[in-house]
Structure 1
Amino acid sequence: MPLRYSPYDESLWSNPWPVYKRMQAEAPAYYIEDLDCWALTRFDDIWQASMDRKSFTASYGTSPDALFLSRAPQPHVFLFMDPPEHGKYRGLIGRSYMKDKIALIEDHVRGVVRKLLKPMLEQGELDVYALGSRTALELIAAFIGLELEEVLQIRGFINRFYQRESGVRGTTEAGAEAFAEAHTYILGLIDKYRKQRPAEHSHIVSWLDAEIDGGLSDDEIFFSLFAMVITGSDTVPFATASCIYYLDQHPDQLAMVREDPSLIAGAFEEAARFDQPTNLLGRRIAKDVELHGQVMREGQSILFLYAAACRDEREFDAADTFDITRKQRRNLSFGTGLHFCLGQHLARLEGRVMIEELIGSIPEFEIDQSGCRRIFGEFLQGYIAMPIRFQPR
């Protein structure tokens, strides 16, 4: 059977692993003709390409929608910038997410989780994904400088924006409408906070007061804010839900983390690797590159298939096995290179604390398999519902 892959092939979304393995073995630099782009699946290839600032550019976008379906210029935000611009714009908020800064807020994060958990523990049931989502949204709201209700409203637009429809590539008509509504709503918030300034150390203030290139336009602030809500509340709920799911599937490992909670950080890390929420991101090729006997031409696009790389046997022993004791020499769960995830330390803290509190508060639980629900798409995947039941406290 000939090897066929496309990020928009819906038949692959629920179980891409056999195709990913074949691509890694037979065509590690795989050409997708109808998109005129290349796909990388091996860990080291993606790692090295992520470090290569001269051959690959983010200025044409990094998502499949931006690279293949949009004719509009990409928003002027650091996610889609190269040096030196990237450093200046990312630097407006980057210090807030440094490892030493994030370590200082662990007690606050734990307080948020315990507040949200308390009524759930009394009921004897909860949705792990919903807990993860609400925790992440409360925290990113504080970082940005928005009210929680405002971030929840934006997240609602995002959920509609990412819904996929069979037979439709990328954003649906309903998704485009949700994006337009989000644009109008967030511009209103920007106007509000110009007049009613939030906390001085918030992202909103940093963006409003930015002096780079004469200051940020309202549209630049809109895209920055929209992107921060997305990145600040996608990965953590997916990875936390999958961590609980796979621990339940491996009772011996669940017993290990109950006995030794110091293993929980590794369990969250392994869940993010084993069930990588971000299927892929991409770049535009800035100059000809030869790899595995193929010449990838300037102007074409390239996809980094993170989900495939995170199960590459060349990098990980028994890559298809969930193992919380795994020691990862390198990690692509949050990207690497110039565009590594800004909030990776916050995400790891949130995930670890939530799992610690769940495991520590619930001696035994049962996953409601009938209520579990995954979403699939060319970009994101994971459990969007993970209900568990337990003895009420």
Structure 2
Amino acid sequence: MIEYDPCSEAVFDDPYPFYAQLRAEAPIFRHPRYRPWFLSRFDDVLAALLDVKSFTVTEGTTSMELLFHPDPDGGEETYFDRSDLPMEIGAVATLDPPVHTRVRAALSPPFKPAAAERLEPFAREIVRGCIARARERGGLDAVADFAGHLSVRVACRVLGVPLDDADFYVRCINTLFERDAGTPGVTPRGRDASMELHVYLIQRIQEWRAKGTRLGGLADAILYGDFEGRRLNDLEASFHLSMVLIGGTETLPKAASAAIYRLWQHPEQRARVAADPSLAPQAFHEALRYDMPTQMLGRVATREVEFHGQTVEPGEAVMFLWASANRDERAFERADAFDVGRGLPRILSFGQGTHMCLGMHIARMEGRVLLEELLAAFPEYDVVEADAVRLRSEFFRGFGSLPLRVA
């Protein structure tokens, strides 16, 4: 019997035994409580990601949009429905080609490898400030005081929006992804936080446009650029801004704190990376594979697709279990071992194909800088594991707090 339930406390505790069972016994699986099919093997997820003719993102990609039925058990809605919003051009993650191709091209310049390289001095300065404060206090939280502090400020710099708003963005985004035990999906306070974020962004967008303010970053393209022959309306612009803020604020702190935690668990590997900083990219890459923060993203089928003898019908949703695919023993030797010597194998943490993560070069730079600077300053840091807090969510997995002692 398949026991996987993405919103169960047991899966929140440790999803990997459930993923292993899915891969072995039911590589395509459907739970009666939820809307979509689940794919758990690396090759299946990769094939679906690359098949833009059989799958669409226009109905959403996240668990908030695709996992839950519109009105489960007659209760309150636990899903997020964008269909009634006045948006023809949603965030790039919810666009199919050819519109996606044109919109992505308009947004991509600040995310190219050379742009990430230009951001590195800014990122390193922020990280060194975090290190200096940690030295004074004798410790830091690897999420709030370190990786999270960096990631939101880099996202603001990419957009060109004021850094003064960084902590507000973090609060709204973190609240959006909080979950309550026993209640699946977005919480009421999460919905309120999402509304608060978009209302605030729309107010700022209206102010900037009224004054003709140029912010000097990606926000200028979002506010004033040509998208399919017109400017984005205020709501569309807010969704594009929030896409960058959420993407930059949520995933990187979880991946970086996972790397910090796993290196602490494996002191011999930590010593290797500290002695040879050129291994920092591999350590971050392995953390992305081993502890993929985003548990699932999905698509909706546009035509019949078959996996392992099961036909997915048009209109049916399919969730790709990224974290399971990254631990697939068919794709990786010793898949359940953390090994910075693994190199840089192909993983799914940034997606593949048309919707490959725009910010992946920036994320890799940030992860590398965080590990380089932490290990240069505190090569024998200690994790206060008793005080660590893990997030409990069907969508994200990782640390909400990871206190470190440093000397």
Deviation at 1:101, TM superposition (A): 2.2
- State the Cα distance separating 1:155 from its structure 2 match: 2.0
Deviation digits for residues 207-257 of structure 1, max 9, x if unmatched? 121222321000001111112111011111111111111111111101111
Alignment of 1:162-181 (within 5 A): 162-181=177-196
Asked if residue 189 in structure 1 is aligned to residue 204 in structure 2, the reply is yes
SS at match of 1:169: coil
- State which drifts further: 25-34 or 70-79: 70-79
TM-score normalised by the chain length of structure 1: 0.95
User: Which letter maps to 1:66?
Assistant: E
What secondary structure sits across from 1:319 in the alignment? coil
Q: Is the 8 A contact 2:256 2:367 kept in 1?
A: yes
Paired position in structure 1 for 2:362? 346
Alignment of 1:47-66 (within 5 A): 47-66=46-65
* Mean CA deviation greater in 379-388 or 97-106: 97-106
CA offsets 1:145-176 (integer angstroms, 9 cap, x no match): 21112232122111111111122221111111
**Contact 2:22/2:40 (<8 A) preserved:** yes
Q: Deviation of residue 71 (structure 1)?
A: 4.2
Among 297, 303, 308, the alignment partner of 1:292 is 308
Instruction: Name which of structure 1's ranges 233-242 and 296-305 shifts more when overlaid on structure 2.
Output: 233-242
Corresponding residue number in structure 1 for 2:71: none
Contact kept, 8 Å, 1:10 with 1:377, in 2: the verdict is: no
SS of 2:342 mapped into structure 1: coil
How far apart are the structure 2 equivalents of 1:99 and 1:349? 9
User: Percent identity of the aligned residues?
Assistant: 35
SS of 1:30's equivalent? strand
Out of 123, 127, 148, the residue aligned to residue 137 of structure 2 is: 123
Residue among 355, 358, 376 paired with 2:374: 358
User: In the superposition, relative to structure 1, how do residues 172 and 51 fare at CA in structure 2: closer, same or farther (>3 Å)?
Assistant: same
State the match for 2:11 in structure 1: 12
Contact 1:64–1:379 (8 Å) recurs in 2 = yes
After the TM superposition, which of the residue ranges 264-273 and 110-119 deviates more from structure 2?
110-119
Assess if the C-alpha contact under 8 Å between 1:145 and 1:198 holds in 2.
no
Residue 318 of structure 2 is aligned to residue 302 of structure 1: yes
Quote the offset at 1:60 in angstroms: 0.2
| Distance verdict in 2 for CA 1:106–1:36, change over 3 Å | closer
Gaps of 5+ in 2: 69-78
Pick aligned residue for 1:146 from 157, 161, 170: 161
Give the Cα–Cα distance (whole angstroms) in 1 for the partners of residues 329 and 344 of structure 2: 12
Of 237, 245, 248, the match for 1:221: 237
Q: 1:205 aligns to what?
A: 220
Change (3 A) 1:253 1:355: same
Moved more, 81-90 or 300-309: 81-90
Q: Which runs of 5+ in 1 are unaligned?
A: none
Write out aligned runs for 1:225-244 (5 A). Answer: 225-244=241-260
Q: How high is the TM-score relative to the length of structure 2?
A: 0.92
User: Offset at 1:115?
Assistant: 2.3
* Aligned residue number for residue 109 of structure 2: 95
Separation in 1 of the partners of 2:61 and 2:103?
17
Instruction: Output the aligned Cα RMSD.
Output: 1.6
Correspondence for 2:284 among 268, 287, 304: 268
Q: 1:159 and 1:90 mapped to 2: Cα distance?
A: 26
Q: Which residue of 2 is the match for residue 114 of structure 1?
A: 128
Whole-angstrom distance in 2 between the partners of 1:70 and 1:387: 33
